[in-house]
Structures are given as structure tokens and as C-alpha cells.
Amino acid sequence: MAVLLMVVGHLVGGQTGVIIALGIAIVLNFTSWYFSDKIVLTMYKAQEVDESSAPNLYRIVRDLAEQAEIPMPKVYIVPSSSPNAFATGRDPKHAAVAATQGILNLLSHDELKAVLAHELAHVKNRDSLVMTVAATLAAAIGMLAYFARWAAIFGIGDRRGGGGVIGLLVWAIIAPIIAMIIQLAISRTREYGADRGSAEISEQPLMLASALRKISDFSTTRPQRDLANPATAHMWIASPFSGGLLRSLFSTHPPVEERIRRLEKMAGM
């Protein structure tokens, strides 16, 4: 994705454009690596809790962290009635797990345990960092492509290669699409991996399948509009967006039915 970013930069401004695009990639990646957890927790007004304020949630996370052999992450509650959860942080030593009030109300103890095991699997695999960087680079490519389209309209750009203005316009259109496909592939693969990690940590794959089914049924009747932000959709255990076939094709998450099928297969094994 960084290469794709630099290709568009080259078409817009030649060698200078490559250097500028590389600089953008470095700055955005560092920002994503260091500040993404603070940004997303602030965005959703998450409140940190401890064993005295949320004993059940805190103890589940603590026990699962010990089982996963990772440091105890900070625990947060998001004041939302929509059932969902996410993990964030640049590495296992600086991780945070957040659950909405809605998911705490909706799920049983074992289902909640399986969901939180999924999030801790993300922490253990450093998925939050990978997916945040991918989302940031995709956004940067989209931004640069937007400038490239205007450059093509006004006949500005590197004319030494890439088909001149026409090539610039073509790349400005297809580059964001390629970036989105890469981002979706990364996100979906990581979700399957975290589902598998949840089954290994909690040893209850059917409980995660049950939780996903409940969350999906809830979202069908009451869309999670308060959580539906394209910049953070990849972080939640279930996509906060709802819709038909077109929405599912461009979702950051695999189909819930396929995730449930795989979890049931794990249980059978």
C-alpha cells in the first residue's frame, strides 16, 4: 500500500511527488502506531473501568489475558446500546479492550468471554496495529488520488511516464479501489484469525458463534448508527454497518454466516 501511495505520488509530482508521498506514509504510519488507541477511545467516549467499577468484565479480561499469556490490557466501557467490542493499542504492553454497554447487556457470561477472547487474540497477534495502518494508508491513497484527479483535469502531473494526463486520471480512479481491496483482504483475514484465537483461548467456539448470531440479529432490526464510522469499522468484532449484498461485498468483516460455520467446524474438531 505504501508502494501504491508512492506510485500515485510519482504520477502527480514526479520524483518530488514520490518523496512527498513517502513522507506522508511515514508520518501517518507513526501517528497510527502511536496515537490510534487514544484517538478511537476518545472518539467513542470510552470510560476506563477497574475491578471495583466493573468486576465481571474486568475479571473476565484478566483471566483471559493470563490464559493468552499477554499483559493485562486496560479495560473500557463504551456508553452505547449497540452490542459490539474492539481492541486497540500499538502492542500487547499498551493494549486496551473496550466493550459497549449494549454487548454487556445482551450476552451471557460465556458468550461475553468468547467475544473478549476474540479481542485479546487481536492484541496477541498485533492486529490492531496492522489494520489501523492499512486503514490509514488507504485513506492517504484516497486523499492523494483526489488531488490527482484535479491535477489531471487541469493538465498537471508527471508527463514522462504513466500515460500522461490520461494515465494520471486512470490511476487516480483505480488506486483507491486497489487500496480498498487490500484493506478488506487484510481485515477479513485477521478476523478469521481472531475467531480461531478466541476458540483456542476460551475453548468455547460455539459461544462466540452464538454471540455473533445475537449481535447480527440485533443489528438487523436496530442498525448500529452510533458506531458506524468507516475509519473505525474494521476494529469492531462485528461490522456496525448493515445492508444488502453490495454492503457485504465491501465490508471490512467476513460474512457472519461463514464465521459461524467455521466456528462450528472448530467445535466439531
pLDDT, tens digit, 9 for 90 and up, residues 73-122 = 999 999 999 999 999 988 899 999 999 999 999 999 999 999 999 999 99
Question: DSSP letter string over 161-177?
Answer: STTHHHHHHHHHHHHHH
User: What's the domain count of the chain?
Assistant: 1
Angle at 57 between CA 122 and CA 120, to 5 degrees: 10
Which candidate in 48, 51, 69, 119 is catalytic?
A: 119
Written as nine digits, the cell of 83 is: 452490542
Residue range(s) defining the domain that contains residue 58: 2-268
Asked about 66 being catalytic, the answer comes back as no
pLDDT, tens digit, 9 for 90 and up, residues 115-158 = 999 999 999 999 877 887 787 788 778 877 887 777 777 766 55
Written as nine digits, the cell of 266 is: 472448530
CA distance 234 to 255: 13
CA distance 226 to 240: 9
Given CA atoms 223, 228, 230, 231 in this order, what sign does their dihedral have? negative
Count CB neighbours of 89 within 10 A: 23
